[in-house]
A and B are shown apart, each in its own frame.
Chain A
Amino acid sequence: MNHISPVIYQFLVKRLTDFRLFPPEASKIAPQMDALFFFILLVSLVGLTAVVLLVASFSILYNRQRHPVAVQVEGSTLLEATWTIIPLGLFLMMFVWGALIYFRVYTPPPNAMNIYVVGKQWMWKVEHSGGQHEINALHVPTGRAVQLTLISEDVFHSFSIPAFRVKREVIPGRYTTVWFEATTPGTYHLFCSQYCGTNHSQMTGDVLVMTPEDYRKWLAGSTSGASLAQNGERLFASLSCAACHNARPDARGPSLANVYGSRLTLANGQFITVDEAYLRQAILNPSQHVTQGYAPIMPTYQGQISEEGVIALVEFIKHLDSDYRIQQTLNTTDLPPGSEEKAAPAGQAPATQGRVKK
C-alpha cells in the first residue's frame, strides 16, 4: 500500500490506529446504559430479522413463477393481536428500564461534590468550589459522585460527555444539573451538542479523570487563592448586600444565614425550599421572590452580575451559617445611626461563629 499511494497509506495508518466502533465506558452509569442499549439492539435485531425472513421467504415461496394464483387471506385477529401485544410488552419493558436510568442520571446523590459550569458562545467555564477555574476542561476524581450545576450566559448549549453517557442541556436563565461518578482515569471528549452558532463545533474540551490522589494534587496546584464562597463574600460586600441582609432588628431584608435548604413562605403565599435556583432568581428577579414580611424594595441585579458572580454569591449564601462576618463588614463601613449597641462586639464572638465554610 505504501508503494501504491503513500497518502492513503498514511491516512489509513493514522486513522485506523485510533479507529473504534464503541465509545469507552468511563463512568458508573455507562455500563448500565449500554446494557439497556444492547437489550434494545437485540430486540431490534430479532424484530428486523423476523421481518426480513418473512419478506424473503414469502418472496421465494410465493413468487409468480412458483405460485401463479394468489390465495386471498383476510387477516387473522389472533396473529394481529400477537404482533401487537408482544411489541407492546417489550416496549413497556424498555420504558421502565429507561426511566430507571433516567431518574438515576438526573437525581444527584446528596453527598455529591458540586462543580459549576457556565456555557457561553463558544466556551465552557468551570468553577470549582475551591476557587479553581478552568476553561474547556473539567478535572474530576474517580470514585466520587460529581454534580454539575449548569447554566448558560447566552443561548442553549448542551454539556455532553459521551464516555460517561451523560448529557444535559445548558439553558440561559435557569440551573440544570447532572451527575456522574467517573471510574477510569483518562482524558475524554467534552462536546457542546446543542447547536449554538458559528463556532458550535469548536465548543469542545477535555474531561480529565484523575485518581483521587492526583486530583488532590491538581486542586492544590490550581487554586487561585480564594474559594468560590470567599469570592462571593467579597462580591456580597461590594454590592452592599449587607446594607439590608444583616440580621439586625431594623434590617430591611431577611437574614441569609442558614437560609439554604430551609423552607420559606413568600409574599404571595407560596411555599418554597431554598435551593440554588431560588437564590439565583431572588438575586436577579427579586420582586417575584419576596419573602413574607418584607417589602419588595430590593433592586434587580439582572445584567449587573455575570453568571459566575451569581454562582459565587449563591455559593457564599449556601455556606453562610452566621451573620457575624456580615455585621463585621458593616461595622467597618457605613454604620447606621444608633445601631452601635445592637452590633455584637467583635471580641466576644465565638471563633467558630463567623467562619465561612469552605
Chain B
Amino acid sequence: MSANTIISLPDQGTAGVPKKNYLTQENGLLSWLLTRDHKRIAILYLLTTGFFFVIGGMAAAIIRLELLTPTGDLVASDTYNKLFSIHGIIMVFFFLVPIAPAVLGNFLIPMMIGAKDVALPRINLLSWYLFTIGGCVELYMMIVGGVDTGWTFTTPLSTHYVNTNVIAAAMGIFIAGFSSILTGLNFIVTIHKMRAPGMTWFRLPLFIWSYYGTSIIFVLATPVIAITMVLIMLERVTGIGVFDPAKGGDPLLFQHLFWFYSHPAVYVMILPGMGIISEVISNFSRKRVFGYTAVAFSSVAIAVFSFFVWAHHMFIMGISTYSALVFSLFSMLVAIPSAIKVFNWSATLYKGSITFDTPMLYAFGFIGLFTIGGCTGVMLATLGVDIHVTETYFIVAHFHYVMVGGMVSAFMAGLHFWWPKMTGRMYPESLGRLAAVILFIGFNLTFFPQFILGYLGMPRRYHFYPPEFQVLNVFSTAGASILAIGYLLPVLYLIWSLKYGAIAGNNPWQATGLEWQTQSPPLTENFTVMPVMDHEAYDYEWLERQTLASQNLENQSQANQSQVRPKETEVPRAG
C-alpha cells in the first residue's frame, strides 16, 4: 500500500482531531445560521446543494425508468415533462452552478491565498440565504404542481401556453442568481485584496485562477438571466409583448438573452472543475503543473471567450448565416484553451512520481470524460453537423459528459482531496477507489448510448419514442442504476468517516498549498500567524525542506510546531 499512496498520517494511537477548530468554535444551530466563517458557510452550501442533488437525482431516476419502454407507461406526459424540467432547473441552477464555487471555493479560496476569511463575510452569508430562499421557492413550485417548460423556458411556450408554475420557477432562479453574483463579487475582491504577503498572481494555485475566471462569469452573466426571468414573469402577468410575435415581440430575443447567460454558465460548471483537477494532478504526481502560465491564462481565456459563443445554441433557429459563421468560429476557438489544459495535465505526469489515490482516479476519469465531452462539443460547434445532432440525445449526452462526467468527477476528486482538511479525518481509501471506478463505468454506460441515440435522431425530451431505440435506452437506464451506486457509496462512507475515519493530521497528502500548512480542521481564523508565500506554487522541494526543518526543530525543542511554520513566527498578524 505504501508505494501506491502518498498518505502520511500521524500516529493514530496518539494523534487526535484538534479540540479547537472551526467546527467546535461555537455550538448550536444559531451559531451555524449566523456564522460569518467562510468554512462553515461552505458546509452549509454542501448540505443544501447535496439536498437539491438528491431531488434532481430522483427526478432523473424516474425519467430513466420511464424510458425503459418506448411508450409512456410509468407516468403521464405532463408528469414526464415536469420531471425533466425539475431535473434541469434543480441540477443546473441549484447544484452544478453553486456546487464547486460555493462549497469548495468558499472553503478553500481564503485558505489558499493565506487569508482568514473572504473579503465580505456578511455578504457571503447573505449569498447562502439568497440561495436557500431561491431553493425554497423552487420547492414551493414543486409542491404546488411543478413546471413543464424545461429548464430553458422557451418562449412563447413559457409565457403564453403552459399553465404551470412558471412564475415561481423563474422567481427562484431570479433570487438564487443574486447569490451567484454576490459570491462572484466576493471571490474577486478576496483574490485581489486578501492575498498573503508574497502571494503574487503567478504564485497563486491554478485553482484560484480558474475560480477567478468563474467569478468574472458570475458577475457579468448572471444579471442577464435575472433580467430574462423578470421579463418572463412580466410577460406572463401583464401580457407585455417582449417575446410574443403576435404583439410585435421577438421570440428569438429570448433565446439570445437566455443563452447569453446560459452558455457562460456552462463554463461556471466546468472551470472550477479544471482548477480542482490542476491541484489534484499536481499533488499526486508530485510535480509542478506543466506550463503553469498557459493553464492560468487558458482559464481566463475560457471565461472571456465564453461570452462570444452563445448563438451556437441557435444555429438552426433562423439566425443570419453570417452570424452563425462568427459564432461557430468563436466556439471553435473556446475549445483551444480546454485542449491546452488537457494536454498540460497529461504532460504534468511526465517524470512525476504518481500514486493512484481516490482523488487521482477521479481526476483521470475527469480527463477521459471531459475529452469526450469536449470533442463532441466541437462536433456541435461545427455548423453542418450541428444541424443533424442538435436538439437530440447527442446534445444531452454531450453536456452530461462535460457537466456530470466532468464537473461531478472533478467535484468528487476535490471533495475527497480536501475532505481531511474539512473534517480532520480520512475517508476509507479502498472504498473511495471502488466508488471512483463505479462512477466512471456507470457514467459511460448511461451516457455513451445516448450519443448513438442522438445520431440516430432521437429528439431530447421525448416521453414516447420509436421502438427501435429501445435497446440503447435500456443500456442507458442500466448504466444509470450503476451510476446511482457510484453516488450513494461516497455519501455513505463519507458520513461514516466523520466518526470512524483515520485522523488525518495537517497535511496527509504532503501537498504544498497554504491550506495544508495549518491544522485540520482549521481554526476559525485559518492560520495562527499570517503565512508568507516565499516560494512558487506546487514547489514540492520547498515542502521537503520545510518538513525536514520542522522535524529537526521538533527533535531539538520537542515543542509542538505542527501548526506554525518556523519561518513565519515573527510575522505579525495583520488585522
- Are B340 and A192 touching (Cβ within 8 A)? no
- Are B150 and A40 touching (Cβ within 8 A)? no
Contacts of A69 in B (CB 8 A): 353
* Contact among A16, A54, A193, A196 for B346, CB-based, below 8 A: A54
Q: A22-B455, A47-B371, A176-B318 are in contact. Are A84 and B384 (CB under 8 A)?
A: no
- Determine whether B391 belongs to the interface, using a CB cutoff of 8 Å to chain A: yes
CA distance A87 to B157 in the complex (A): 40
- Determine whether B316 belongs to the interface, using a CB cutoff of 8 Å to chain A: yes
- Determine whether B252 belongs to the interface, using a CB cutoff of 8 Å to chain A: yes
- Are A44 and B353 touching (Cβ within 8 A)? no
- Are B81 and A200 touching (Cβ within 8 A)? yes
- Determine whether A238 belongs to the interface, using a CB cutoff of 8 Å to chain B: no
CA distance A69 to B318 in the complex (A): 58
- Are B246 and A62 touching (Cβ within 8 A)? no
- Are B384 and A101 touching (Cβ within 8 A)? yes
Contact indicator per residue, chain B 144-167, by CB within 8 Å of chain A (1) or not (0): 000010101011110011100000
CA distance A302 to B247 in the complex (A): 10
Contact indicator per residue, chain B 339-365, by CB within 8 Å of chain A (1) or not (0): 110111011011111111000000010
Name A43-81 residues within 8 Å CB distance of B: 43-44, 47-48, 51-52, 54-55, 58-59, 62-65, 67-76, 79-80
* Contact among A20, A76, A99, A174 for B245, CB-based, below 8 A: A174
Interface size on A, residues (CB 8 A): 94
CA distance A83 to B465 in the complex (A): 42
Contact indicator per residue, chain B 298-329, by CB within 8 Å of chain A (1) or not (0): 00000000000000000111100100110011
- Determine whether A191 belongs to the interface, using a CB cutoff of 8 Å to chain B: yes
Selected interface stretch from A150-158, A251-259, A340-348: A150-158
Instruction: Tell me the minimal C-beta distance from A99 to chain B in angstroms.
Output: 5
Best-buried of A14, A22, A43, A95 by chain B (most CB within 10 Å): A95
Instruction: Tell me the minimal C-beta distance from A302 to chain B in angstroms.
Output: 7
Q: A79-B347, A83-B340 are in contact. Are A167 and B391 (CB under 8 A)?
A: yes
- Are A72 and B288 touching (Cβ within 8 A)? yes
CA distance A168 to B387 in the complex (A): 8
Contacts of A92 in B (CB 8 A): 332
Q: A36-B384, A102-B387, A200-B461 are in contact. Are A193 and B392 (CB under 8 A)?
A: yes
Interface size on B, residues (CB 8 A): 97
- Determine whether B6 belongs to the interface, using a CB cutoff of 8 Å to chain A: yes
Contacts of B465 in A (CB 8 A): 201
Q: A23-B457, A88-B336 are in contact. Are A172 and B245 (CB under 8 A)?
A: yes
Q: A83-B339, A155-B161, A162-B456 are in contact. Are A62 and B288 (CB under 8 A)?
A: no
Best-buried of B150, B452, B471 by chain A (most CB within 10 Å): B471
Selected interface stretch from B13-21, B374-382, B484-492, B495-503: B374-382
Name B113-161 residues within 8 Å CB distance of A: 148, 150, 152, 154-157, 160-161
- Determine whether B78 belongs to the interface, using a CB cutoff of 8 Å to chain A: yes
- Determine whether A318 belongs to the interface, using a CB cutoff of 8 Å to chain B: no
- Are A99 and B328 touching (Cβ within 8 A)? yes
Name A127-161 residues within 8 Å CB distance of B: 154-156, 158, 160
- Are A80 and B344 touching (Cβ within 8 A)? yes
* Contact among A95, A162, A196, A285 for B328, CB-based, below 8 A: A95
Best-buried of A73, A74, A200, A202 by chain B (most CB within 10 Å): A200
Give the 4 A-B residue pairs with the shortest CB-CB distance, closest first: A162-B457, A173-B245, A101-B384, A98-B382
Some 7 contacts from A to B, beta carbons below 8 A apart, are A40-B379, A48-B372, A59-B364, A98-B382, A167-B387, A169-B317, A201-B465
